[in-house]
Amino acid sequence: MRHRFHSICPYFAMFPEQFVQKHLIWSKPGDVVLDPFVGRGTTVFQALLEDREAIGGDVNPVAVCVSRAKASAPPLSRVLRRIHELEDAFDPRRAAPYPGLRDFFATCFHTATWKQIRYLQANLGWRQTATDAFITALLLGALHGESHKTEWCLSNRMPRTISTKPAYSVRWWRAGEHIAPKRDAFEILRELAVYRYASQAPTRKGVVVQSDARKLGKRLPEYAGRVTLMVTSPPYLDTTNYREDQWLRLWFLEDRLPETSRRSRDDRHRAAENYWQFLSEAWAGVAPFLASKAHLVIRIGGKRVSQTEARTKLTQSLRGALKRRVRLADEWSSTIVGGQLHSFRPGAAGTKVEHDFHFVVDR
């Protein structure tokens, strides 16, 4: 059975656990495995399952919450106790004001469900405790989705992978006369917890921090020189905006509405030159972690990037940033088909290519 933590919450441009499994052979039990662009945490989680230590970072709080939930999952009994405690303290008579976007929120969620969501948003300390991080990740995975097909979803009909834009969503719901279902968030959280824990949580715990990859080495100095394997995929070139696509989940975590005019804080770069420059800086940021003979498995994706360009630029950026001898050991290229392709936002149609590279740091 596929481990049930993998699909707690979907994410963009995610790689499957088989990709990580395949490359874990470049490390041994007890080694430290790194992913500086952790996304939904597959590298970290799979490494822990296979008895490695694991560390990761990401700038996006959704990625950090979901990865942290998997990397430091508490016992099920504690999760259920905490859900019970939260439910006991919940008062459905209290008003739950709209933070703005009234039309959107009032059409997206049934009033009774909305009160529970606002209450959980205010009371889940996902940055403080592993138990609350796990419950929050469960909630993020259920916050929106195809509620006409599953009971484990809190919203009016919406894709589960991306949060559609507010005005568009309201127009679409009204045109189709879609009504938000009345769902009990506490009940759903309980059922989801029991379902997820049908797979055993790993005994090892990993470390996931909210950090720009360029600063990660400084954030976790205790791992200096200890990483023998990095498996990662940096933000895809000109493909997706991880904040915009996850705006509803981000709203839940930060209680801030999206600022459409602000420049994105994630590092999607439209100009290829800036992108490769960014990657050089990211490799310099993780350089302190790398043991001699470390293996680096890197997936590069984008709309137009060719395998030759990816190989050349990636090799240059690694050699320049690490200031060590770096040898290309293997490479593959693939066209994205089926499910993965559809996990990109609609505007990103044409995102079809992924190039994988395996480098070894020779000394």
Q: Which positions lie near ligand SAM, rule CB under 6 A?
A: 11, 13-15, 37, 39-40, 42, 57-60, 63, 212-213, 233-236, 242, 266-267
- Looking up tokens 């800086």, which residue turns up? 281
Question: Cβ 245 to ligand SAM, closest distance in Å?
Answer: 10
* Cβ distance to ligand SAM smaller for residue 68 or 115: 68
What is the torsion angle, in degrees rounded to the nearest 10, for the CA atoms of residue 206, residue 16, residue 13 and residue 218? 20
CB of 38 to ligand SAM, least distance (A): 6
In the bound complex, what is the minimum distance in angstroms from residue 340's beta carbon to ligand SAM?
10
In angstroms, what is the minimal distance from the CB of 200 to ligand SAM?
A: 22
Q: Which amino acid makes up residue 283? A: W
Q: 63 or 207: whose CB is closer to ligand SAM? A: 63
Minimum CB distance to ligand SAM, residue 267 (Å): 4
- Distance, in Å, from the CA atom of 1 to the CA atom of 200, rounded to the nearest integer, reads 11
Comparison of 40 and 355: residue with beta carbon closer to ligand SAM: 40
Tell the smallest beta-carbon distance from residue 89 to ligand SAM (Å): 33
Q: Give the three-state DSSP class for 33.
A: strand
DSSP 205-254: --EEEE--GGGHHHH-GGGTT-EEEEEE-PPPBTS--HHHHTHHHHHHHH
C-beta of 31 vs 58, nearer to ligand SAM? 58
The residue (of 15 and 104) whose beta carbon lies closer to ligand SAM is: 15
The residue whose two tokens read 């309980």 is 190
Q: State the residue number with the nearest CB to ligand SAM.
A: 39
Q: Which amino acid is at 219?
A: R
**Closest separation in Å from C-beta 233 to ligand SAM:** 4
Shorter beta-carbon distance to ligand SAM: residue 14 or 117: 14
- Structure tokens, 306: 């060719």
Cβ neighbours, 10 Å, residue 61: 20
Calpha distance 279→321 (Å, rounded): 9
- Region for residue 19 given its phi and psi (left: phi exceeds 0; alpha: psi -120 to 50; beta: otherwise): alpha
Whichever of 57 and 258 has its CB closer to ligand SAM, that residue is: 57
**Please, which residues have CB within 8 angstroms of residue 305's CB and are 6 or more apart in sequence?**
237, 272, 353, 355
- Which residue in the block uniquely carries the two structure tokens 């049930």? 4
